[in-house]
Structure 1
Amino acid sequence: MILAWAVSGPLFGFSDTWQLLINTGTTIVTFLMVFLIQNTQNRDGAAIQAKLDELIRASAAHNRYIGIEGLTEEELDDLRARCASRAARDMPAELLDAADRAEDEADRKARAAAARAVGSTC
């Protein structure tokens, strides 16, 4: 289609109408592709959610998490906070120490990188 448009350019003298034709066509195709991609992503998300729900049902996980994708943003924030609190409470002391050491090491590396960056710009 684009090839036919390009070949027809000299016939129409590369007019504004000739350019408007391809602009309108590409806009319509782009608009339709957005809907197609969004529909595909929605189906993919629903399939993944169904798989996760089945894994929760088949495992020893808490069934109360099935269907949480329908919660409001505030409800999800509250749920995330409760999960983080429970994870921190249930985490063994060795893991907490390891996490603290990893955070300290990351901070040290970031400060060293920042110092190198400042030193190289002077």
Structure 2
Amino acid sequence: MTPPTAGEPTHSKASASRAFTTFAGKVAKWAGHPLAFALGSATVVGWAVSGPFFGYSETWQLVINTGTTIVTFLMVFLIQNSQNRDGAAIQAKLDELIRASAAQNRYIGIENLTEEELDELRRRCETRAQAERLDNAREAADEAEARARDRAKAAAERVG
């Protein structure tokens, strides 16, 4: 068995990554559930109701501040992990659709362009779309004119 090369994940790294991915996905999904919101709201209400019992002390305030800070800090990383994976999966799907369709393959990988390059590409696409809409409108007008001419000719032949 050959040792892994640089950049190649080891089995333990892959399984740790898979475990974290599973954990992060489940936590992110649960955090978006109405029950999670209800639990968070109930915690805040419970904390607020306990204020008079603790005399609204600094320790009482510190409890909610520390708790919310820790939860927020950890959730940012878990949710970002889920968003990164979702974004990468969507990008891979779009790239495959572009590759397998009549679309232009040059759009594969554009997510790596700079903001300025993406803005320029977006402007070019909008310009092409406007030109295509104008061409379609001209074709529709030409077709309508041809149909009107044909009807006028048919009406003239019936009369004359």
Q: TM-score, normalised by structure 1?
A: 0.62
How big is the shift at 1:13?
A: 5.5
Once residues 25 and 37 of structure 1 are traced to their aligned partners in structure 2, the CA distance between those partners, rounded to angstroms, is 18
1:94 is aligned to 2:137:
yes
Give the greater-gyration-radius structure (CA): 2
Residue 66 of structure 1 pairs with residue 100 of structure 2: no
**One-letter identity of the residue aligned with 2:137:** E
Coordinate RMSD, CA, aligned: 3.0
Deviates more, 1:87-96 or 1:65-74: 87-96
How far, CA to CA, are the matches of 2:87 and 2:119 in structure 1? 20
1:35 aligns with 2:60: no
Inter-partner Cα distance in structure 2 for 1:84 and 1:14: 58
Counterpart check, 1:44 vs 2:79: no
2:107 aligned partner, one-letter code: Y
Structure 1 spans left out of the alignment, 5+ residues: 98-122
2:125 aligns with 83
Q: How many residue pairs are counted as aligned between the two chains?
A: 96
What is the CA-CA distance between 1:70 and the residue it aligns to?
0.5
- Structure of higher RCO (CA pairs closer than 8 Å, 6+ residues apart): 2
> With structure 2 as the length reference, what TM-score do the two structures score?
0.49
Identity over the aligned pairs, expressed in percent? 71
